[in-house]
Every structure is written in structure tokens, then in C-alpha cells.
């Protein structure tokens, strides 16, 4: 029930966003050097386009944000879950580099000219049921400790 309420609020907000405002969703990791490069680019983009709003999610230490990223990636038709990942308008993209930056900038400009809903408006009611890398590491670590205990 709570998920439906949150999804409803996000959809309503996306429809009521001020004209000319563009929302970009960025998923990154505190341990990812490429994510810092993307953050620098996004900061530059915000300086160039003051009506751009960047919504940032850290995925390494927040498994729910990882599931949000995977769910949104699937809604955009992406099959590779890797950070940095950016969603804006019709574009969902991961990685860094000039080609990625150009595609993001072009989509921001398109959205500023024509309007685009928040990428979060694409979220389905149910999030992806996946484990985050942190959860997988914890499970693997617990399994190793249990195995070592049993082999003693």
C-alpha cells in the first residue's frame, strides 16, 4: 500500500512540475571514480541550465536505491545495471565520456524545449526484486564464516 502511495505522489509531482523545469535522475556510488566525473559534468550542466533539477541516489550503501535504479533501468529498456546511471526524458544511459555527456545534454535541451515528465513517473508499481551488491557481499561473507565454522 505504501508503495502505491509513493508512486502516486511521484506521478502527481511529475505532472505538476513547473513548465520549463527538467528533472534528471542520477544514480552513483561513493566508491566509484566515474561517478565523480559524472557529478562534475552534472554540476556544469546545472550551471548552464538553471531550471535543471538533479535528483541523486547513492546505491552502494543503500540497497533500496539500488533496487530503484534497477527498476528504472528496466523501465527504460536497459539491461546493464552499472553506475553512473542517468535518466532524463526519454534517455536512460550509463557510463562516462564525451559521447554520454553529449547525449545527456541533448536530451536536457530537448526536454527544456518540449517538456518531459520526471523519469520517476515511469516507475511501475512494483520494484525489481534483486539483491544489491552490498547485500550479495554480506550474504557471501556470512556463508564463508559459516563454512569456516563448520569446517573447524
3-state helix, strand, coil in the chain (%, to 5): 55, 15, 30
Model pTM score = 0.77
Number of domains observed in the structure of the chain: 1
Q: What is the pLDDT of residue 145?
A: 79
State the residue range of the domain holding 115.
2-151
Cα dihedral across residues 56, 5, 78, 69: positive or negative: positive
Contacts of 30 (CB under 8 A, 6+ apart): 58, 60, 61
Tell me which residues of the chain have a pLDDT lower than 70. 1-19, 136
Contact 69, 122 (CB under 8 A): no
Q: Where residue 17 sits, what CATH number does that domain have? A: 3.40.30.10
For the stretch 76-99, pLDDT in tens is: 999 988 999 999 999 999 999 999
The pLDDT of residue 7: 46
Amino acid at each position: 500500500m505504501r508503495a502505491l502511495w509513493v508512486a502516486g505522489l511521484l506521478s502527481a509531482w511529475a505532472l505538476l512540475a513547473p513548465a520549463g523545469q527538467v528533472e534528471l535522475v542520477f544514480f552513483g556510488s561513493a566508491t566509484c571514480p566515474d561517478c565523480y566525473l559524472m557529478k562534475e559534468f552534472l554540476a556544469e550542466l546545472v550551471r548552464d541550465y538553471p531550471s535543471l533539477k538533479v535528483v541523486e541516489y547513492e546505491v552502494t550503501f543503500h540497497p533500496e536505491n539500488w533496487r530503484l535504479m534497477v527498476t528504472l533501468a528496466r523501465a527504460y529498456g536497459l539491461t546493464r545495471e552499472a553506475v553512473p546511471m542517468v535518466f532524463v526524458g526519454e534517455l536512460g544511459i550509463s557510463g562516462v565520456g564525451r559521447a554520454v555527456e553529449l547525449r545527456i545534454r541533448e536530451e536536457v535541451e530537448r526536454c527544456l524545449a518540449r517538456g518531459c515528465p520526471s523519469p520517476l513517473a515511469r516507475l511501475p508499481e512494483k520494484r525489481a526484486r534483486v539483491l544489491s551488491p552490498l547485500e550479495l557481499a554480506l550474504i557471501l561473507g556470512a556463508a564463508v564464516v559459516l563454512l569456516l565454522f563448520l569446517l573447524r
